[in-house]
Amino acid sequence: MKNEIIYYNVDVTIIPENAATIDPQRFGPLFPGDSISITITPNKGYQFDQWMETVSSFEPNITIFGTENHHLTASLVETPELSDQVQVYNGP
């Protein structure tokens, strides 16, 4: 009988695509007993909303454990850019 090596895959999807970066950028297989912390940093014009799928969290930093395959989806929302100029309404 061969000894099987057990490991779990980690897959991350960012929606919308290119709205953020994650750290670390690459994951190897996750072995039983291992853990990895993942941080998402929104790009300009976006705000982090939530992690979905295997892990559900509204925090940008999460830790996952080597207990199962992980498919993570990070949802971000577009934020309106504020103008550098303020317009004053003087009335009619």
Q: Are 69 and 9 in contact (CB under 8 A)?
A: yes
Q: Are 57 and 5 in contact (CB under 8 A)?
A: no
Quick one: pLDDT band at residue 18, thresholds 50, 70, 90? very high
- Percent residues over pLDDT 70 in the chain: 88
Beta strands in 1-92 (DSSP E): 10-15, 20-23, 35-42, 46-53, 61-65, 70-78
Architecture of the domain made up of 10-78:
Sandwich (2.60)
Which pTM does this prediction carry?
Answer: 0.78
pLDDT at 83 over 60: no
Query: From the CB of residue 41, how many other CB atoms can be counted at a distance below 10 Å?
Result: 11
pLDDT, tens digit, 9 for 90 and up, residues 39-62:
999 999 999 999 999 999 999 999
Mean pLDDT value across the chain: 89
Q: Where are the domains of the chain?
A: 10-78
